[in-house]
């Protein structure tokens, strides 16, 4: 195994101190033709001290290889999408079989029906679904359905929660201290240039995990709201969790006030539990959105939920379209992925391996007196270098997180052959391909990387 630094040798891994020269070359080439050299803003990463991202050329199981031939155990996993691991044999077989039969007809197909049945069976409260291709697209469908059903336009989202790049909800994703406004009345801040002010006015912002403040906002604006949308576990805020009883209270408030409750399960779906957050928390939202783990690495998403709301989509009174929706290739990949995840022990092992890594992070940091909170639930988690090691409660707690320390830690991990999310506010993910051996190597890597930053 060729890894990035000499530290790897103590783990029994071959060593390579050199920067990733091939990645550097590819990035230089990319910048001439791809805006910023990247295809998504989230990929504007650096590699430790080197100002370019790594270019991955191959993946097998839980391992990936970059253009320089460095091998990593992968905990980014395409932001959680590759839940079975890379090039999983049964997923390849399912996709290959479909490839031979044709990839897309632009007509109804049998695989999308089987997949919809599978989702409705696995996820509590999902009675009807529609497919799309990315999380952002499915978010648009759910928001339109909620607006169509209630006849209202305003939507409430929580500060820091991420629901894709489209105008409808790209609001207050990462406001700075100067932009965010008072905690009692957070300002709706566009996440980007180019979002019309009318769209921003339709999005209200509240702090997560704060009942009194949300209650006050609802007293003033509850009657204007079509929906409240949230990440039930906030993957994009370093995996922070809802406080005990918070989601149940939110469910009751939405029911009482006639507001559609939408769970953005794009990360949590089929990962937190087989039935996602709805199963894990025992709560049924009105609508939910799925992607990432759903497709096992193929581009597919879905929105769905209560019959009464989705009936408007069924009746074409809420329009939803898309050339690639429910195409048999991606549907076959998703069907295979969900069937694998349903097998006894698969998700349990994913969670168990994650808990072992989380425990190693806590132990290593504690032993060296490094304040941090390790947040998550096994299948998805993050180590947050918060000022005094306090767990995060809401987005604003991220403002004083030591991001430099996380960058140093990630770089030290890369050097020992462990690839994790470059963002300190995102998560590490475990796949069904991660083995006990991978986890044992990772535990050692965590030890040595912690030593390097301690």
Catalytic residues: 162, 264, 292
Q: Given the complex with ligand PLP, which of 64 and 139 has the nearer CB atom?
A: 139
Task: Candidates 129-137, 179-187, 399-407, 416-424: pick the segment binding ligand PLP (CB under 6 A).
Answer: 129-137
Residue 269 interacting with ligand PLP (CB under 6 A): no
The verdict on 164 binding ligand PLP (CB under 6 A) reads yes
User: What letter does residue 243 receive in the DSSP assignment?
Assistant: P
- Is residue 266 a contact point for ligand PLP (CB under 6 A)? yes
Q: Which of 7, 230, 267, 413 binds ligand PLP (CB under 6 A)?
A: 267
Residue 96's alpha-carbon distances to 90, 101, 181, 406, in angstroms, are 10, 9, 52, 40
Stretch that binds ligand PLP, among 197-205, 230-238, 318-326, 361-369 (CB under 6 A): 230-238
Q: Out of 70, 147, 157, 163, point to the residue binding ligand PLP (CB under 6 A).
A: 163
Q: Which two tokens stand for residue 436?
A: 């006990």
- Selected from 62, 136, 189, 325, the binder of ligand PLP by CB under 6 A is 136
- Identify which range of 53-61, 128-136, 141-149, 344-352 contacts ligand PLP by CB under 6 A: 128-136
Separation between Cα atoms, residue 182 and residue 421, nearest integer Å = 31
Which residue is at the shortest CB distance from ligand PLP? 135
Residue 76 engages ligand PLP in binding (rule: CB under 6 A) = no
For ligand PLP, the binding residue among 75, 158, 162, 208 (CB under 6 A) is: 162
Phi and psi at residue 43, to the nearest 5° = -95, 10
Using DSSP bridges, classify how beta strands 56-60 and 373-376 pair: parallel, antiparallel or unpaired. Answer: unpaired
Beta carbon of residue 134, minimum distance to ligand PLP (angstroms, whole number): 4
Number of CB atoms found within 10 A of residue 176's CB: 8
| Residues between 310 and 349 with contacts to ligand PLP, criterion CB under 6 A | none
User: If binding is defined by CB under 6 A, does position 79 make contact with ligand PLP?
Assistant: yes
437 vs 441, 444, 447, CA distance in Å? 6, 11, 16
Q: What is the DSSP letter of 206?
A: E
231 touches ligand PLP by CB under 6 A:
yes
Q: Is residue 281 part of the contact set for ligand PLP (CB under 6 A)?
A: no
Closest CB to ligand PLP among 166 and 443?
Answer: 166
Rounded CA-CA distance 239/242 in Å is: 10
Residue 391 is given by DSSP the state P
Task: Pick out residues in 18-47 that bind ligand PLP (CB under 6 A).
Answer: none
Please give the helix or strand (H or E) that residue 246 lies within, else none: helix 246-257
Nearest to 375 by CA among 262, 279, 240: 240
State in angstroms the smallest separation of the CB of 247 from ligand PLP. Answer: 15
Binding ligand PLP (rule: CB under 6 A), the pick from 78, 109, 291, 433 is 291
Q: 264 near 161, Cβ under 8 Å?
A: yes
State the minimum distance, in angstroms, from the CB of residue 260 to ligand PLP. 17
Residue 126 falls in which region: left (phi positive, over 0), alpha (psi -120 to 50) or beta: beta
For ligand PLP (CB under 6 A), the number of binding residues is 15
Beta-carbon neighbour count of residue 60 at 10 Å? 14
User: CA 426, 142, 110: angle at the middle one, nearest 5?
Assistant: 100
The Cβ of residue 120 has, within 10 Å, a number of other Cβ atoms equal to 15
Which phi and psi (to 5°) does residue 132 adopt? -140, -165
271 binds ligand PLP (CB under 6 A): no
Inter-residue contact 434 to 74 (CB < 8 Å): no
Residue numbers 191-210 binding ligand PLP by CB under 6 A: none
CB neighbour list of residue 438: distance below 8 Å, 6 or more residues apart: 62, 73, 353
Q: Which of 59, 135, 297, 376 binds ligand PLP (CB under 6 A)?
A: 135
Residues in contact with ligand PLP by the rule CB under 6 A: 79, 134-136, 139, 162-164, 231, 235-236, 264, 266-267, 291
């Amino acid at each position: 195994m060729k890894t990035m630094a000499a530290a790897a040798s103590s783990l029994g891994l071959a060593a390579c101190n050199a920067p990733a020269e091939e990645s550097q070359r590819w990035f230089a080439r990319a910048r001439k033709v791809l805006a910023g050299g990247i295809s998504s803003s989230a990929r504007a990463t650096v590699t430790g001290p080197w100002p370019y991202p790594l270019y991955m050329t191959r993946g097998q199981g839980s391992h990936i290889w970059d253009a320089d031939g460095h091998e990593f155990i992968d905990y980014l996993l395409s932001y959680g999408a590759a839940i079975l691991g890379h090039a999983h044999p049964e997923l390849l077989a399912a996709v290959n079989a479909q490839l031979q039969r044709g990839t897309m007809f632009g007509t109804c197909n049998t695989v999308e029906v089987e997949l919809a049945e599978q989702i409705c069976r696995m996820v509590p409260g999902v009675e009807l679904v529609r497919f799309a291709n990315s999380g952002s697209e499915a978010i648009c469908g759910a928001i339109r359905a909620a607006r169509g059903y209630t006849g209202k336009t305003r939507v409430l989202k929580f500060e820091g929660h991420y629901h894709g790049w489209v105008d409808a909800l790209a609001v207050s994703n990462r406001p700075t201290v100067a932009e965010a406004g008072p905690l009692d009345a957070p300002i709706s801040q566009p996440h980007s240039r180019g979002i019309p002010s009318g769209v921003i006015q339709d999005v209200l912002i509240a702090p997560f995990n704060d009942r009194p403040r949300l209650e006050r906002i609802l007293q003033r604006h509850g009657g204007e709201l079509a929906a409240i949308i949230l990440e039930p576990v906030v993957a994009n805020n370093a995996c922070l969790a809802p406080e005990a009883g918070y989601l149940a209270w939110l469910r009751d408030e939405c029911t009482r006030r006639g507001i559609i409750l939408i769970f953005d399960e794009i990360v949590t779906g089929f990962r937190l539990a087989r039935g996602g957050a709805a199963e894990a928390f025992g709560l049924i939202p009105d609508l939910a959105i799925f992607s990432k783990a759903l497709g096992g690495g193929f581009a597919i998403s879905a929105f769905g939920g209560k019959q009464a709301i989705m009936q408007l989509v069924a009746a074409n009174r809420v329009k939803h379209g898309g050339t690639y929706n429910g195409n048999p290739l991606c549907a076959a990949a998703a069907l295979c992925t969900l069937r694998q995840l349903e097998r006894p022990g698969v998700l349990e092992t994913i969670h168990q391996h994650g808990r072992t890594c989380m425990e190693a992070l806590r132990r290593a940091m504690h032993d060296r007196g490094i304040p941090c909170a390790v947040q998550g639930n096994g299948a998805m988690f993050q180590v947050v270098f918060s000022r005094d090691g306090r767990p995060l409660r809401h987005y604003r707690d991220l403002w004083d997180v030591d991001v430099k320390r996380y960058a140093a830690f990630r770089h030290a991990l890369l050097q020992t052959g462990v690839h994790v999310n470059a963002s300190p506010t995102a998560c590490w993910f475990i796949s069904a391909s991660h083995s006990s051996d991978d986890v044992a190597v990772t535990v050692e890597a965590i030890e040595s990387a912690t030593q390097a930053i301690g």
